[in-house]
Amino acid sequence: MRYFEARIVENSSLGGGYFLLVLSGCHALANSQPGQFVMVRGDWDRDPLLPRAFSLLDVGADGGAAILAKTVGRGTALLERAEPGAKLSVLGPLGSHFPPPSDEFTDLLVGGGVGIPPLYMQAQIASRRGLAHRSEILYGGRSQHDLVLLSEMRAFGTGLFLTTDDGSSGRHGLVTAELEARLDSHVVGSDSSRVGGKVRILACGPNAMLWAVARMARDRRVPCFISVEEQMACGIGVCLGCAVPARSRPFRYACKDGPVFDAADILDVSPALPLSAVGCPS
Ligand SMILES: Cc1cc2nc3c(=O)[nH]c(=O)nc-3n(C[C@H](O)[C@H](O)[C@H](O)COP(=O)(O)OP(=O)(O)OC[C@H]3O[C@@H](n4cnc5c(N)ncnc54)[C@H](O)[C@@H]3O)c2cc1C
Ligand code: FES
């Protein structure tokens, strides 16, 4: 797989440091699945040297693709300022993906912050396949400014449950409290007996949120897949900088074995080595 050249068609600010990049020239991404990501580098000088990882929000058969990003450092700040027409080097689609929507499961799609793109894409696919009634998006942020693309997600026809830490929009509190409530409405007790078919959790967001979600899923005996957002230097399994301690093997690599993992494989393995302790050069 090689880097290809894409162009920015549109770069819109969504407030709160979030921006939406619409790209052209991404035919290689046409068959990407929710959870897969791209490594992106702008046509800038040597700082930052390494490409940055972004989940795919949307892809089209016409070579279009979209990324939702938040400015947190130099690379994202440069992308936020990039003008339509600017060239980007893109590598992808990379990594593993969430299991596809299925009539067998109700999917609880739990996302926080920049973890929403893969869940957005999953809900969009469910909607296109007539399975919107089998998906619920549970979307949490610090404040209303962290909840973006809401009208687009409402149009999917899936459930949409919002939470904010400060109560400025949706339920006041953490998205995990909403997850508990939704599990209560779908699942009776903790013995995995269910109302209305099987439930599955797909989650992406900050690591603290992911671990809380994974523990809840384990306690309720609900299948759970989480997409981890480790810092990545190469994105293709070469630098070994994105190691994640696992049960099935001593280490798995977020970029090539993940970013989507069965939560049971990586939950509570080697707590002495938190994911955030394993970093890459920038
Ligand atoms: C698989 C994957 C998918 C991602 N998808 C998205 C996405 O869709 N949208 C989006 O905005 N971001 C996403 N990220 C995170 C994004 O890659 C980082 O925010 C970006 O690399 C930061 O680059 P920077 O140069 O702006 O910041 P830097 O200057 O490199 O870092 C700024 C701060 O952010 C921290 N940081 C950097 N990368 C990460 C990371 N991966 N996780 C947690 N903290 C980090 C650094 O430790 C530092 O504190 C994803 C990351 C991965 C691995
Ligand atoms: S980012 Fe280099 S091995 Fe995963």
Ligand nearest to the CA of 67: 1
The confidence score (pLDDT) of residue 187 equals 64
pLDDT above 90 covers a percentage of the chain that reads 80
Among protein residues, the one whose CA lies closest to atom 32 of ligand 1:
73
Distance 52 CA to ligand 1 centre (A): 7
Counting atoms of ligand 1 from 1, which one is nearest the CA of 70?
Answer: 11
Distance 243 CA to ligand 2 centre (A): 8
Largest CA distance in the chain: 57
Structure confidence by residue, pLDDT tens digits, 24-71: 999 999 999 999 999 999 988 888 889 999 999 999 999 999 999 999
Average pLDDT of 235-261? Answer: 92
The confidence score (pLDDT) of residue 275 equals 46
**Ligand 2 in reach of 155 Cβ (< 6 A):** no
Q: Per mean pLDDT, which range of 80-84, 129-133, 153-157, 274-278 is the poorest?
A: 274-278
Going from N- to C-terminal start, the domains of the chain cover 4-94, 105-229
Counting atoms of ligand 2 from 1, which one is nearest the CA of 239?
Answer: 2
Burial class (CB in 10 A: 0-12, 13-18, 19+), 145: middle
Counting atoms of ligand 1 from 1, which one is nearest the CA of 255?
Answer: 1
Residue closest to 62 by CA, chosen among 25, 9, 21: 25
Encode burial over 170-190: b for 16+ CB neighbours within 10 A, e otherwise.
bbeebbbebbeebbeebbeee
Structure confidence by residue, pLDDT tens digits, 160-208: 999 999 999 999 999 999 999 999 888 645 544 454 468 999 999 998 9
DSSP 245-265: E-SSSSEEETTTT-SEEEHHH
Counting atoms of ligand 1 from 1, which one is nearest the CA of 77?
Answer: 26
The confidence score (pLDDT) of residue 224 equals 95
The confidence score (pLDDT) of residue 194 equals 52
Spatial separation of the C-alpha atoms in residues 256 and 259, rounded to whole Å = 7
The confidence score (pLDDT) of residue 1 equals 82
The confidence score (pLDDT) of residue 48 equals 87
Average pLDDT of 99-119? Answer: 95
The CATH architecture one would assign to domain 105-229 is 3-Layer(aba) Sandwich (3.40)
Hey, what CATH topology would domain 4-94 get?
Elongation Factor Tu (Ef-tu); domain 3 (2.40.30)
Residue closest to 121 by CA, chosen among 69, 157, 170, 156: 156
